[in-house]
Amino acid sequence: MKKLIFLISSIFCLNACNTEKLAIAGSGWDDIAIIDKKTGVIEWKHTLNAGDECNSIEVTPNGNVLYAYLKGAKLINRNHETVWDYKAKENEEIHSASRLKGGNYLVGICGEPARIVELDRSGKQIKEITFPTLIFDIHNQFRRITKTDDGMYLVPLLEKQKVLRLTSEGESKGAFSTANEAFAVKVLKNNNLLVSGGKSSRFVEIDPDNPQRFNMRFTDEINGGVLRFVAEIYLYKNGNKLIANSNMYSDDMSQPLLIEIDEANNAVWTLPYNKDIKNITAVYSFFE
């Protein structure tokens, strides 16, 4: 009987006793890190090379860390060993790297032309599409690209304040205005799009089937914190949103670096200023 109780407890603990961790990175910060969400303590840190700019970070199911670093995208293990390293070409920048549902990887590349590539699990390129952005300062082209379940690429064009829609073959399906900067785009459970507003200090929910401005839902204020540079927003399954609230354009260090809000825009958790974390523009939640 004791063995049965121990077995049941062990099975339960595998699912419930893991703790939430957050992988974080920030434009202008020299490190990427993993923190314990409950304590805010940095548990793992990886120092970037001089000149790297990281706006994208994820943790794979086996614990490896995927990140973009301006001139490439890299997968490393927790011992800081490189699994693969995808390099940008001359006059290109990489700010978007993500793991796809099937286990492959997506990399967005700013350049003339801009490119989207997909990599297999070993980091080998297996697909590429090119597209024009009509933004000639490549640094202002885009940050975080999303691929939808139906194979559409969503590209938030920073300078144009639009989200460009591309088919899996690279055919343009048009773009719609976000009425503010477009740093990152995510798909909500209702299939609307959530667009981070960057320097606009807000985010917007847009119905992609009816994207006129008067149907947009802007959020400028939340209860429990002040929005600064609204970078990536991580979506929880319960509808909560975890906002990377970068202070890169502010000297006011009183506001949280991360803010989790519920569906009524009330803050339910925050990460206060930490002198060891310069700012956060990318965040990814996982359990271990």
Per residue in 48-93, pLDDT (tens digit) is: 999 899 999 999 999 999 999 999 999 999 999 999 999 999 999 9
Please check the confidence at residue 255 and state whether its pLDDT lies above 80.
Answer: yes
pLDDT per residue as tens digits for the range 178-206: 999 999 999 999 999 999 999 999 999 99
Asked if pLDDT for residue 5 goes beyond 50, the answer is no
- Residue 209 has a pLDDT of 83
Where do the domains of the chain lie, and which CATH numbers do they carry?
Answer: 19-287 (2.120.10.30)
Q: How far is CA 73 from the centre of its chain?
A: 14
Please give the order of strands across the beta sheet that includes 105-110: 93-99, 105-110, 114-119, 125-131
What is the reported pLDDT for 156? Answer: 97
Cβ neighbours around 26 below 10 Å, total: 27
- Is the predicted pLDDT of residue 14 greater than 60, yes or no? no
**pLDDT surpassing 70 at residue 253:** yes
